[in-house]
Structures are given as C-alpha cells and as structure tokens.
Structure 1
C-alpha cells in the first residue's frame, strides 16, 4: 500500500525533470516512498540513509540502491546530489562534507526541505562548494534550491566530525564522543542524569534502548563490572557514536541497529532508556509506545524496565497495562523516572 507523499516530495515531483537521466545520490531526512519514483527516471540511483527504520521499509523495493550506515565512501561517480534537509544544521553540513567528494566536477546539488528546518540557510550551506544556489520552487512552506559543485573539496574524514566532552555522574567519569545531530552530542541532558542517579547496582544483561551517544549504557557498564550491555538505536550516527564512546572509556558492549525490537537477540534482565519521542520537525510517540507495551516480552523472569520521561508524557497508563508493577522512582517538575517489573 502506497502512502501519501510529504509536502517536500510533492514539490520535488513537480520538478523531477531536473533529475532525469542523472547518476543521482539522495540523502538526508528521508520520510516517504518518493525515491522509488526517482528510480524510474534517473540513470542510476543511490539512496543513503542513517535511519534503520526507513532502510527496512524501503529495502525490498530499492534493493542495492539503498544503503544504511554512518558513512558512504568511494570514488566520484555521481553527477547530482539531492539533500533532504535534516533538522540539525550540523547534520546537513556533515552530509554535504561526506557526499560532495563523491560528486563529479560540475555536478548539480539540490537542497530541499521544510522552511522551518533550515532550508533558508541554503546559501551558507552551499558556499564551500559553489556559487549562490538558485531557488527553483517554493510552496506549502517548502523550498528547493539548485547549485553546482564548482569548487574542489577535501576528502571526507569521519574523525573530524566527532565532538568530545567529559561528564561526571556521581563517582563515574565518562568521555563522550558523538557525531552531529546525535542525542547528547554536546552535553548530557538532565533527564538522563536523573535516570542514572536513580539506578541501583545492576547485574546480568542490560539493553540501552535509543542509545544516542551511548552515555547510559557506558555509565552502567563502567559502574557495574560484569554487566553485559547491548546498545540499540535506529540512527547509524548514534550507533557509531556509541561504539566510539565505549572505546574511549575502555568498555565493551554490543551495538546494534534495531527498529524498536526488530533485530534484538534474546531477552534481557534490565532495559534502561531515555526513550526518544521527536523525529525531525514532528513529534512521534508511536515507536516509544510500542517499545513500552512490548517490553515485558523482551525481559527475563523478574526483569525490570527503567525509563525517564518528560512529565507531560502519558506513559504511566501504558506501563501499568503492560507490567505487573510500576512505580515512580523519582520526579521533579520536568521529568519522571518509572521502574516497571515484569
């Protein structure tokens, strides 16, 4: 069953003569099936996504034309790039720096996105790569800019894009490494701090769901020697950040891409999370609600789920329906820490 196209994709559909016959590379905030339409009009297509959920949804239709990961390498081979603007400006800069070395000289660069998501900064984003881009279309609060690769670009070095900082949580000090746009990329949020402060010593196996830069799983691994930690996220940039955070602290853990519970091996004694509820410019609760409701099936025996959530989110009824016992461990005006026993 096909789904309606986003406003951005409808705008691109009106302008798809710009892409005909191209060796096209598409990346950024992919959210619908429009790349399938592009596959029918371009000479060849590569869709690069950092979103495992999107990859799983499109893999059957696009096959080898869709690539999931934190980095795309290779020799220059594309004569057009379409960047769908991500929410974070730093992530857009990161993707352009990664993709432009894969473009042939004089290649077309198209930037498309919602006007609330940074597309109006297209001139500055494009300045390292060519002249001022032309606005090709603007409708329904979306814009399409068209520029050309007219400057030489340096090779992409992933390591140049990691931020690094130290955080102190009680007696535990952690080095955090993160790529642009990843949760906790520049500092540890207050909710995660409250969550980590509320947890007792842990043993057995632990799942850090929606791991971001890997702070929760890494702190718990450091505090609890012998704890087997698995970190999962749908974001490839988060997964690579978590690998780097573990390595920077001399820790070991399993890091996996998973769309909620899609790719998890077995069950766990503990699930701990600061679950995400934002995706792009919209607020999404469905994935987190699925995560909470299905958690008991992924816990051993008397396993426990511990999460922190914004106080306004109505997660308590979901937890009470799914678990035998749920309590609020700690709370303030902004956050609540829930602990639920299977």
Structure 2
C-alpha cells in the first residue's frame, strides 16, 4: 500500500518523530511504520486503533514486532515520549482521545496531530486549548496539516472514566421507549437519525430467532427489535470499538442481552440468521465505504437461514437493489421517504 498523504507529511518532519516509545493512534497500515523504523529505530512502537480493519491490517503486517491494541480506550503502564494522533472525523472524539492517554504521557511528551484539511484539522488549536499548550501548525502539504503540542498536566485528570463520556438520551418509536448510550464519534450520538427511524417503522411484521444488526452503531435498531419482538436472539456487529462499547451499554440500559462483536464486513460472522437488519455504513464520495456495504449485501446470502429475510435502509442514490436481487432473491421497495428507501429481500430457495 502506498503512503497516505498524512503519513507523507509526518515523514517529511522526521526530526519530530524521534522517540523511544511512540504511540500511534488510529493510523492505518500504509507503510508508515516500516519507514519510521528505518529512519529512527524506536525501541517500542505501540499502535492503538478503534477501527477493526486497521487493527487487523497492522496485526497481520507486523505481528508481535509492534504492540497493537483494538479497544474503545487505551490503557498502558508505559509512559510514551511521542503520541501521533490521526485527526478523527468527529471533533468530539479528539478530546476523548487526549483524555484517555493522560495517564501515559508527561509534560514533555510531544503530541502530533495530523490529518487532511477537509477533515477539519485546522480547528485543532481551538479544540485542544484547554488540554494542550502551544498547539501550533508546523507543516502544511499534500492537502494536510500537522500540529504539535504538549500536555498541560494540571488541566487533565490522570484517571480516565469511560462512563463520563457516554452521551445518553431517550427516544420513543411506535410507543417503545429506549435509552441510548453513545461515545464520541459513534453514529447517531445525539439523536435518532432519519434513515434509522424510517427503518424501525418498516420492519417485518413478525420477527423471531437469530437476528443480526449489521453496522449496529449505538445499538438502537437491536434494542428496538429486542423490545418489540421478544423471541429474537440479538447479534450486533460493527467495525468500531467505540460503537461496540456503546451498543453493549445501550443493551444493558434497556435490560437486553446480545452478542456484540467486531467484524470486517462479514469476516467474523459465523452463525446463520433468520433476520438481518441494517442501516449500512457509508460515506458519500469515499469509494471503499460503498464497497464494504456492497460486499456485505453480496455475501450475506451465505449467512441467512432458509427463507431468511434482510431489511435495509439506504439513501435514494445508492443502487443496492440490483445487488440484493442478484445475490439474495427478489427485492422489494417497501417505502420511500425523506431521501431514503427501505429494501427487503428474502433468500431465494434456488
């Protein structure tokens, strides 16, 4: 894989990368680590990722040579002298990330923030002014920015309490009231999104047995199903550790249980399901995210029981119906509203 633009910007600032025990947060496996090791030969590299795909790629490439962690927050007994953070898509996630590493850095630890301009990284000094001192831009190239700053130890507690970071709210759909818990960066952190609301109002009339929530986010879909259809056995899948932790908390708050697990599309799906329900994740204009959802729809037939059903919601411009028709069976448009379409297909008996 060729070096991403943020990685190229980091490497052209080689003098800032000198460290014995660097911590790389949410950086992809794009060849950066190999280049970094060749340049500086750090004693111990630690990689923390909340994205399961990136975590797997790092683990498969580097094995035990690099300490890799997939979790919703970072824990370590090591003091890092350098932390490199890929600027998150959700600005709220940045201070969450800084708070979770307060226990393993000192006032001398360099904190590097790198990201593409279109991702909003130019707001980094403002966002971190209560945590980092002297957060300054040190480079701008390849449509990316690089900032460096240092912790203000007196401004942040060394004790990180995950429970403090959940955003909790209640919602009521079709007379069913749910309590939702969501960590920063998780889809629908503040409220029920339009697509999911439409999906919940257009589920199959009866549901029971093994039910998979693909791309579960904070667990709204599963909890609604679990409350409405008490004979379902819930499985919740997501690529994000933050989402999985949120979904588990949401289940608990609503007195429900389920199998919550990480998977790269269908990579870790082992069971078969009578029902699959999803608001498939995607980001407009980013090809790989379309591809992930399309691979899910093309492969889910192998994980459906005989006459198993799948119900999804999608933006009107997404061409999912032909894929479902080709790989699953006859696919119906249940409804269209507010820019979204509900599709439902039943596994063909062929």
Equivalence for 2:8: 10
Deviation at 1:54, TM superposition (A): 0.9
Alignment of 1:60-75 (within 5 A): 60-64=60-64, 65-75=67-77
Equivalence for 1:163: 167
Write the distance in 1 (CA, Å) between the matches of 2:48 and 2:252. 26
For structure 1, the residue ranges without an aligned partner over 5 or more in a row are: none
Equivalence for 1:252: 257
Equivalence for 2:32: 34
Deviates more, 1:267-276 or 1:149-158: 149-158
2:273 aligned with 1:235: no
Deviation at 1:36, TM superposition (A): 3.7
Equivalence for 2:47: 47
The structure-2 alpha-carbon separation of the partners of 1:333 and 1:175, relative to structure 1 and needing over 3 Å to count, comes to closer
2:181 to 165, 177, 201: 177
Compute the RMSD of aligned alpha carbons: 1.6
Alignment of 1:139-218 (within 5 A): 139-152=141-154, 153-154=156-157, 155-199=159-203, 200-218=205-223
Partner SS state of residue 11, structure 1: helix
The structure-2 alpha-carbon separation of the partners of 1:29 and 1:311, relative to structure 1 and needing over 3 Å to count, comes to farther
Equivalence for 1:25: 23
Write the distance in 2 (CA, Å) between the matches of 1:321 and 1:83. 42
Deviation at 1:323, TM superposition (A): 2.1
Equivalence for 1:100: 102
Write the distance in 1 (CA, Å) between the matches of 2:29 and 2:177. 38
The answer on whether the counterparts of 1:29 and 1:86 sit within 8 Å (CA) in structure 2 is no
The answer on whether the counterparts of 2:106 and 2:153 sit within 8 Å (CA) in structure 1 is no
- Runs of 4+ residues deviating >3 angstroms: 28-31
Write the distance in 1 (CA, Å) between the matches of 2:279 and 2:29. 24
Partner SS state of residue 242, structure 1: helix
TM-score, normalised with respect to structure 1: 0.95
Write the distance in 2 (CA, Å) between the matches of 1:33 and 1:316. 37
Write the distance in 1 (CA, Å) between the matches of 2:120 and 2:102. 19
The answer on whether the counterparts of 1:29 and 1:85 sit within 8 Å (CA) in structure 2 is no
Write the distance in 1 (CA, Å) between the matches of 2:329 and 2:44. 53
Write the distance in 2 (CA, Å) between the matches of 1:43 and 1:126. 29
Alignment of 1:115-154 (within 5 A): 115-152=117-154, 153-154=156-157
Deviation at 1:31, TM superposition (A): 6.0
Partner SS state of residue 166, structure 1: strand
TM-score, normalised with respect to structure 2: 0.93
The answer on whether the counterparts of 1:36 and 1:62 sit within 8 Å (CA) in structure 2 is no
Deviation at 1:278, TM superposition (A): 1.8
Deviates more, 1:19-28 or 1:265-274: 19-28
Deviates more, 1:73-82 or 1:208-217: 73-82
For structure 2, the residue ranges without an aligned partner over 5 or more in a row are: none
| Deviation per residue, 1:24-46 (Å, 9 max, x gap) | 11113536332343344322211
Write the distance in 1 (CA, Å) between the matches of 2:29 and 2:198. 33
| Deviation per residue, 1:228-285 (Å, 9 max, x gap) | 0000000000000000000000001110001111111221111100000128x83520
Partner SS state of residue 59, structure 1: helix
Equivalence for 1:316: 321
| Deviation per residue, 1:110-148 (Å, 9 max, x gap) | 111111212111212332233222322111221111112
